[in-house]
């Protein structure tokens, strides 16, 4: 499935037009923080519109469905601090409200002590996004 028509990509993200198929394929494969990080680096500058929504969906799914992999996220953030801003910025109202609710609960109730600040930031972002979904 192609995320956006090539003409729309050319108009909004000229540098991304050749990458549309690769971005679309990558979106389907974000099953790990490493995969998401690699895509962020590879497709830098293509983080807008449908592509950004794909990133947001991937972030929400990774957090909601694979909270136990938070240490993988922490390790990547230690190497690339920008990745934390990227992840937190993609916890937004485009995510499924059930995923956002699960993230809020996990951040409060299942946070390892060594990543408390990260959990607090993730939880706060999920609460804001959830509020935006419930009270637009």
User: Would you state the pLDDT for residue 28?
Assistant: 60
**pTM of the predicted structure, to 2 decimals:** 0.82
pLDDT digits (tens, 9 = 90+) for 4-32: 443 444 444 455 666 655 666 666 657 89
Q: Where are the domains of the chain?
A: 6-134
Q: For residues 121 and 133, is the Cβ–Cβ distance under 8 A?
A: no
For residue 131, name the pLDDT band (cuts at 50, 70, 90): confident
Lowest mean pLDDT among 24-28, 73-77, 78-82: 24-28
CA distances for 16 relative to 22, 28, 101, 127, 135, angstroms: 10, 17, 33, 32, 34
pLDDT digits (tens, 9 = 90+) for 108-117: 999 998 999 9
What would the two tokens of residue 50 be?
A: 């449908």
What would the two tokens of residue 18 be?
A: 């050749």
């Amino acid at each position: 499935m192609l995320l956006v028509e090539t003409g729309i990509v050319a108009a909004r993200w000229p540098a991304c037009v050749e990458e549309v198929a690769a971005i679309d394929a990558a979106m389907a494969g974000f099953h790990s923080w490493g995969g998401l990080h690699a895509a962020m680096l590879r497709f830098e500058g293509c983080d807008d519109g449908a592509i950004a929504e794909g990133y947001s969906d991937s972030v929400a799914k990774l957090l909601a469905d694979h909270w136990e992999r938070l240490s993988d996220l922490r390790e990547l953030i230690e190497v690339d601090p920008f990745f934390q801003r990227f992840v937190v910025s993609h916890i937004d109202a485009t995510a499924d409200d059930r995923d956002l609710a699960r993230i809020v609960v996990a951040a409060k109730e299942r946070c390892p002590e060594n990543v408390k600040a990260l959990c607090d930031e993730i939880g706060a972002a999920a609460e804001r996004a959830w509020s935006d979904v419930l009270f637009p």
